[in-house]
Structure 1
Amino acid sequence: MPEGNAAVHEAYDAVRTRMTDGRYAQGQIITPEAVATETSLPLPAIEAAFGRLVEENALRLYRSHGALVLPLDLEEARDVMEARLLLEVFAIDSVVARGREHARRLGRDLIPLLHDKDTAEATLLQARQFHGELVAAAGNAVVARMHETLWDRSLHVAAASTAGPDNRRGNVAEHRAIAEALSRGEGAQARRLVYEHVSAILRRVGVGDELALPRPADA
C-alpha cells in the first residue's frame, strides 16, 4: 500500500478519475471511509485528497456526512476557457511580432518543461507552469495577472481534464506540439494548436468545443 505523499497523489487521482468518468456522479454524497474501502488506500490519504478537491471547488464537505460531488458549470467553463484562449493567442502574436527568433527561443524554453507525469496533480502543475510562461512571454503584466485569475477560475476544468492516464498524455502531447511549433518559429501553427488544445480540454470534461472565438487566422 502506498504511503505518505505517494498515497495522497494516488488517492487524488482515484477520486478525480471517478468523478470525471461518472462513477461518482454530480450530486452524489461520497465519504472518505467508503472511498478508502473501494480503493484500498489509507483513510488519511483519502481525506487529504478530499481537501484538495474542495479547494478546486469539485467537492463540498458536510461535517459527519461526507462530501457532495459538485457539478461543473458548463457555461462558465466555456466562457473562462474562451477568455484564456484569447489571452494565449495574444501572447503568441506578441512574441511572434518581435521576430521569429523570439518565438523559437520561447519554444525552446517551454519544451524542457514537458515530461509525462504519473499523477493528475503533477500534470496539472505542469500545465499551469506551461500556460503561465507562455502568457508571461508577451511581456504584459496586466495580461499575465488576468490569465492567472482565469486559471484559478478554470481550475475545476483543468483538473478534470487531466484525470486518467489518457487525458494526462493528451495534455502533455498537446503542450509539446505547441512548444515545438514555436521552436520552429511557426506562430500561425502555434495559434491553431492552442485553439485545438482548448477545444480538447472542453471535450474531455463534456462541455463540447463550440467556441465563440473564431479559429486563429493563418497570418
Structure 2
Amino acid sequence: MYDQAGTPPASRTDFVLESIKEAILNGELKPGQALVETDLAAWLTVSKTPVREALKTLVGSGLVVMSPYKGAAVRTVDAAMAAALYDVRLLLEPEALRRAVELGASFDEAALALEDTDDLARRSLANRRFHRALYAGCGNPLMVEILDGLRDQAALVTVAGWGLHPTWEAEAAEHRAILAAATDRDAGLATELLRRHIRTFADRLTEELPDVVR
C-alpha cells in the first residue's frame, strides 16, 4: 500500500490502517461485516497488534463500530447518520469556503483533485481532497480540524450514496462550477453552489437510506 506519491506508509500500523480503510471505501469490506483481527492479520500478513491499533483508529474516525459482544464491524450507513453528518457540513463547510475565498486562499489543490476514475476508493479519495482544499484556507484552524474529523464518515456516506445511484459525473460538474466561482473570487456564488451541492446529495440520501440500522 502506497500513497499517490509512491511513498510507503510510515509504519506497519499505518499500512494496516490504510489497507482496511481502502477496503471499506471500495466495498471490499461490506457495511455491517465483522472485522476479525485474526482474519485481517492473515489477509495483510501482519501480527494482530497493528490490526488492533488500526481498528481503534477507525472506530475513532467513524468507519468502524465496536460492540462488547460482537467485536468490530464496518459501520453501516443509515438515514439518521447521514442527516447528522450533512447537517454539520452544511453549517460549517460553505462558511469555511466563503472565508477562504475572501482571504485570497489558493485553490490549486482543489484543481488537482478533479480526478476522473472508475475506482471507487480513488474517486472517494479525490472527493475528500477536493472538499478539504476548499475549506483548508479559511483561516480558522479549529474549523478545519472539525471538518477534517468528519472526512472518513463523509467518505463512507458518499460511497453508500454512489452504491444507490452513481451520480459522480453530475457531482464532478458541480465541483468544477464551485472551483470556478472560488478562483474567480466570487465568495457568494461559490458558497451557494457548495451549499446546494451538499444539500442535494444529503436530501437524496436521507430519502433512500433506511431509517435505522440495527
Change (3 A) 1:80 1:14: closer
- For the pair 1:157 / 2:162, whether they are aligned, the reply is no
Structure 1: stretches of 5+ with no match in the other structure: 1-8, 20-25, 31-43, 45-50, 210-219
Secondary structure of the 2:166 match is helix
Q: Spell out the pairing of 1:1-219 with structure 2 (5 A cutoff).
A: 13=26, 56-57=63-64, 71-98=76-103, 102=104, 105-106=106-107, 108-163=108-163, 166-204=166-204, 206-208=205-207
Partner amino acid, structure 2, of 1:179: L
- Distance in 2 (CA, whole Å) between partners of 1:122 and 1:164 is 18
- Structure 1 length as normaliser, TM-score? 0.58
- Distance in 2 (CA, whole Å) between partners of 1:88 and 1:68 is 29
CA contact (8 A) 2:102 2:187 kept: no
Change (3 A) 1:146 1:70: closer
- Structure 2 length as normaliser, TM-score? 0.59
Change (3 A) 1:57 1:156: farther
CA contact (8 A) 2:114 2:172 kept: yes
Aligned residues: 170
CA contact (8 A) 1:117 1:168 kept: no
Structure 1 residue 179 displacement after superposition: 0.7
Change (3 A) 1:189 1:97: same
Change (3 A) 1:172 1:10: farther
CA contact (8 A) 1:13 1:120 kept: yes
Structure 1 residue 76 displacement after superposition: 2.8
RMSD (Å) for aligned C-alpha atoms? 4.2
Structure 1 residue 199 displacement after superposition: 1.8
Offset from partner CA, 1:186-210 (integer Å, 9 cap, x none): 2111111111211232245x3149x
Partner amino acid, structure 2, of 1:91: A
Secondary structure of the 2:126 match is helix
Change (3 A) 1:14 1:89: closer
